[in-house]
């Protein structure tokens, strides 16, 4: 029996020495120490050993088992160490390599322009407010002195949701929301998205942005309107910018005007940019119509005001010299990165 155990031990050692991987060592463990292993088989055959010899044989078996285990553990530890070392050698991380850059997109010219306009008006004491994009007919038209049969309500222009609700065609309705609150005086701008059923081309889109302006106080005159918008234009387009007002018609203002700025490209001499006129149209404006004030609960005998509406895209296209509005909506980063 002793020789048999000694042979098992020598076999195990030989196999351990031959092993070149952790898997092979594990196989040796199973073969010799496992449930169906050789040492277990010896233990099972104890019943054939004379009872008085059993303790001695049992001791031999345990000693052999402990010895094989010790050698196996040692070999396993060595093998693990070798494996780690070769891993360390192969998986070198070069910390000097440039890191992968995060793509974070880019600010949109519309946003930059809107913030610039907001900054100028906030500097003049204006509040920035937001109105709803879904409006009722009342706020978008009626309260702005646009009666039921007015062409501005044409269904070809307006996206109706149903008989009562529509997508606002202008930010002017926000004037009404603010006036209805009844807090006077008012000095606000309201930037936001508007919608019209227009075909897409270089200067049109079914969805674009406006910045509405409204001032209501005692003794507001057209001079206040001119002074404010002249100052705004200088801040946005440069100190030398001149403005001119041309008579126009809007239902919610009386008198109404369109405002041009002197061409910031040629300084007013006339160039391709201003189509040779020296002037560029940038907004509509006027003194708030007494009907509009009255409908929103403001007494036109006591208060007066001015309003204006700026096309945000138009300003962005001018400021950044972009010649096609569609580029603003494609959101191609290669385009956006240029501004
Ligand atoms: N709402 C007008 C439009 O969409 C722009 C406008 C003109 C707004 C005159 C105003 C204004 O507040 O006084 O064409």
Q: Is the CB of 308 under 6 A from ligand 1?
A: yes
Mark out the alpha helices in 105-170 (DSSP H runs). Answer: 109-123, 137-140
Structure tokens at 70: 């010790």
Same domain, 186 and 134: yes
Is 90 exceeded by the pLDDT of residue 335? Answer: yes
98 touches 135 (CB < 8 A):
no
Are 126 and 72 within one domain?
A: no
Number of domains in the chain: 2
- 195 lies in a domain? yes
pLDDT tens digits for range 112-153: 999 999 999 999 999 999 999 999 999 999 999 999 888 888
Note the pLDDT tens digit of each residue in 307-317.
999 999 999 99
- Per the listing, tokens 């010299």 go with 321
Give residue 253 CA to ligand 1 midpoint distance, Å: 9
Are 259 and 119 contained in the same domain? Answer: yes
| Structural domain for 38, as ranges | 2-90
Q: Tell which atom from ligand 1 comes closest to the C-alpha of 252.
A: 13
Let me know if residue 99 belongs to a domain: no
121 and 213 in contact (C-beta within 8 Å)? yes
Residue nearest to atom 4 of ligand 1 (CA): 170
Q: Where are the alpha helices (DSSP H) in 242-332?
A: 290-295, 312-319, 326-330
Instruction: Determine phi and psi for 200, rounding to 5 degrees.
Output: -75, 130
Identify whether residues 122 and 167 lie together within a single domain. yes
Q: Taking 80 as the threshold, does the pLDDT of residue 1 lie above it?
A: no
Bridge partners for 302 per DSSP: none
- Indicate if ligand 1 lies below 6 Å from the C-beta of 285: yes
Q: Is the pLDDT of residue 188 over 90?
A: yes
pLDDT category of residue 287 using cuts at 50, 70 and 90: very high
3-state DSSP assignment of residue 323: coil
The response to whether residue 253 sits with its C-beta less than 6 Å from ligand 1 reads: yes
CA 42–ligand 1 middle distance (angstroms): 102
**pTM (two decimals):** 0.72
In a domain, 98, yes or no: no
């Amino acid at each position: 029996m002793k020789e048999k155990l000694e042979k098992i031990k020598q076999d195990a050692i030989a196999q351990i020495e031959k092993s070149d991987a952790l898997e092979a060592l594990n196989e040796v463990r199973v073969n010799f120490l496992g449930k169906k292993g050789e040492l277990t088989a010896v233990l099972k055959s104890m019943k054939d050993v004379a009872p008085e010899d059993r303790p001695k044989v049992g001791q031999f078996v345990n000693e052999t088992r402990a010895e094989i285990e010790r050698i196996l553990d040692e070999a396993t530890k060595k093998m693990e160490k070798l494996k780690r070392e070769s891993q360390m050698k192969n998986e070198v991380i070069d910390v000097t390599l440039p890191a992968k850059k995060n793509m974070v997109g880019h600010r949109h010219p519309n946003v930059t322009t809107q913030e610039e306009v907001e900054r100028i008006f906030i500097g003049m004491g204006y509040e920035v407010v937001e109105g709803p994009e879904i409006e009722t007919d009342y706020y978008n038209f009626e309260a702005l002195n646009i009666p039921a049969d007015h062409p501005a309500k044409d269904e070809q222009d307006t996206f109706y949701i149903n008989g009562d609700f529509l997508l606002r065609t202008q930010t002017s309705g926000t004037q009404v929301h603010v006036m209805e609150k009844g807090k006077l005086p008012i000095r606000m701008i309201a930037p936001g998205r508007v919608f019209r059923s227009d075909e897409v081309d270089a200067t049109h889109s079914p969805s674009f942005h406006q910045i509405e302006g409204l001032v209501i106080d005692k003794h507001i005159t057209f001079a206040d309107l001119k002074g404010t918008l002249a100052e705004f234009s200088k801040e946005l387009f440069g100190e030398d910018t001149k403005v001119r007002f041309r008579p126009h018609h809007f239902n919610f203002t009386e008198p109404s005007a369109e405002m041009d700025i002197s061409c910031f490209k040629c300084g007013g001499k006339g160039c391709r940019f201003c189509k040779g006129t020296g002037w560029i149209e940038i907004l509509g404006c006027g003194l708030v119509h007494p009907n509009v004030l009255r409908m929103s609960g403001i007494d036109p005998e006591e208060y007066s005001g001015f309003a204006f509406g700026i096309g945000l895209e138009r300003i962005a296209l001018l400021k950044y010299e972009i010649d096609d509005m569609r580029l603003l909506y494609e959101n191609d980063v290669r385009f956006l990165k240029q501004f």
